[in-house]
């Protein structure tokens, strides 16, 4: 009976934590909904709530400059304005959407409304997107609260490391690279910072943090070197990536090839850190079990653990690259491209470079982490 009672208490504890996470997410959703609507200052758009959805009928939209017609749909709505000087007022209106706009208008949902004014005095209303800011914050808050509730301090520290890493990329690396600073040195500094923050936040044993950090950085340096050699050998310009041509034309003096090499490092650092920390944790457990373990046996154990982790991490890395480029992969496949043309395509080449460099980084991280760990242990025994 005591065993059953303990299980019951654990279930109640987990249910309470889950309910607490849901409550915090709901509070975050409500708060963000209030502040986002209050702070909405876009002059060309309004946030509206759909009260009623009426008939939908096909129509044609004429582009007078090109003398072309586009198939559209006109939908009758009753809306309530939630931002701007007319907040709180209800209006019936007809919105015009492209036929394949992919946005279903539903009663009770909030959307972003824009108005186009024409020279003849006509006004055309259209819904550009759903108002999803509160939902995004709500889901993110639930994920964070759920992680902290069930993982405790480890979950909190993981979120701290993730937050600092994302802040480093979005608020330091990206703005400086866009201003013309060399992307590769910036990526190296970002990788060092991300690695240090992640190791400090994740590795509990302070004594073993250096091995995980130096092993991951060594593997990352190897990944960059392989990427650099292959990019030069294949003469890849970096312009085949998604958004790269637009970036090159809109940002002056941007080093597109450098951006490609920087993206190789940034996209691989997570997997490299995962392998380095896993090896460090396994070897640390062996030290705690037998503090006088033979150093060669310790090295062998680290290599074996790394080899087993490597298989799943390479799979994760390659599938992540394919998943993020799935639309482009489908386009290439649908074009009935011949094998030789496919292998010579610069976009495919860039994806292969990222995969090869990331895999090489993982391979190098294993012996380097094990070597740093054994060296550190050898020095501590003197």
Instruction: Give the pLDDT confidence score for residue 355 in this predicted structure.
Output: 83
Cβ-Cβ contacts under 8 Å for 11 (sequence gap 6 or more): none
Which phi and psi angles does 349 have, rounded to 5°? Answer: -60, -45
- Using the Cα atoms of residue 219, residue 326, residue 98 and residue 120 in order, give the sign of their dihedral: positive
- Higher pLDDT: 380 or 139? It is 139
Closest CA to 231 of 382, 356, 361: 356
What is the pLDDT confidence band of residue 291, given thresholds at 50, 70 and 90? confident
Task: Write b or e for each residue in 291-327: b if 16 or more Cβ atoms lie within 10 A of its Cβ, otherwise e.
Answer: eeeeeeebbebbeebbeebbeebbeebeebbeeebee
CA–CA gap between residue 187 and residue 56 (Å, rounded): 51
- Higher pLDDT: 3 or 334? It is 334
Q: Say if residues 46 and 82 touch (Cβ distance below 8 Å).
A: yes
Is the pLDDT at 63 greater than 70? The verdict is: no
Identify the H or E element spanning 69: strand 68-81
Instruction: Give the pLDDT confidence score for residue 335 in this predicted structure.
Output: 67
How many C-beta atoms lie closer than 10 Å to residue 382's C-beta? 4
R_g of the chain, CA atoms, integer Å: 27
- List, for residues 156-177, the tens digit of each pLDDT value: 888 888 899 989 988 998 889 8
Instruction: Give the pLDDT confidence score for residue 189 in this predicted structure.
Output: 94
Mean pLDDT across the stretch 84-98? 84
- Of the listed ranges 97-101, 102-106, 241-245, 257-261, the least confidently predicted one is 97-101
Is the pLDDT at 1 greater than 60? The verdict is: no
Mean pLDDT across the stretch 116-142? 84
Instruction: Estimate to the nearest angstrom the gap between the alpha carbon of 41 and the chain centroid.
Output: 27
What is the pLDDT confidence band of residue 102, given thresholds at 50, 70 and 90? low
Is the pLDDT at 182 greater than 70? The verdict is: yes
Q: Say if residues 35 and 47 touch (Cβ distance below 8 Å).
A: no
Is the pLDDT at 192 greater than 90? The verdict is: yes
Q: List the structure tokens of 235.
A: 């003469």
In the chain, which residue ranges form alpha helices assigned H by DSSP?
A: 2-38, 133-151, 153-168, 174-178, 183-202, 209-234, 244-250, 256-289, 295-324, 326-334, 339-343, 346-380
């Amino acid at each position: 009976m005591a065993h059953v009672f303990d299980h019951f208490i654990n279930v109640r504890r987990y249910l309470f934590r889950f309910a607490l996470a849901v409550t915090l997410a709901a509070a975050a959703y409500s708060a963000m909904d209030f502040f986002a609507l209050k702070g909405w200052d876009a002059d060309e758009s309004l946030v509206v709530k759909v009260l009623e959805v009426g008939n939908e009928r096909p129509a044609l939209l004429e582009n007078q400059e090109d003398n072309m017609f586009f198939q559209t749909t006109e939908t009758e709505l009753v809306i309530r304005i939630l931002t701007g000087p007319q907040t709180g007022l209800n209006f019936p209106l007809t919105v015009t959407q492209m036929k394949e706009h992919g946005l279903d208008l539903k009663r009770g949902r909030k959307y972003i409304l824009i108005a186009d004014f024409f020279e003849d005095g006509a006004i055309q209303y259209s819904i550009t997107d759903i108002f999803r800011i509160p939902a995004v914050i709500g889901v993110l808050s639930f994920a964070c609260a759920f992680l902290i509730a069930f993982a405790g301090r480890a979950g909190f520290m993981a979120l701290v490391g993730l937050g600092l890493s994302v802040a480093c990329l979005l608020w330091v690396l990206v703005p400086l690279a866009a201003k013309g600073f060399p992307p590769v040195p910036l990526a190296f500094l970002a990788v060092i910072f991300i690695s240090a923050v992640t190791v400090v936040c994740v590795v509990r044993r302070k004594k073993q943090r250096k091995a995980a950090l130096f092993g991951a950085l060594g593997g990352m340096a190897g990944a960059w070197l392989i990427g650099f050699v292959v990019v030069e050998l294949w003469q890849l310009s970096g312009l085949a990536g998604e958004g790269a041509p637009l970036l090159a034309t809109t940002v002056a003096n941007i080093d597109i090839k450098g951006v490609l090499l920087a993206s190789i490092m940034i996209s691989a650092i997570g997997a490299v850190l995962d392998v380095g920390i896993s090896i460090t944790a396994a070897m640390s457990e062996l030290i705690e079990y037998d503090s006088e373990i033979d150093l060669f046996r310790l090295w062998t154990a680290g290599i074996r653990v790394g080899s087993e982790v490597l298989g799943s991490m390479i799979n994760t890395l390659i599938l992540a690259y394919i998943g993020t480029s799935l639309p482009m992969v489908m386009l290439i496949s649908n074009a009935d491209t011949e094998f030789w043309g496919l292998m010579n395509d610069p976009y495919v080449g860039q994806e292969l470079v990222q995969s090869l460099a990331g895999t090489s980084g993982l391979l190098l991280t294993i012996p380097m982490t094990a070597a740093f760990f054994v060296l550190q242990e050898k020095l501590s025994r003197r």
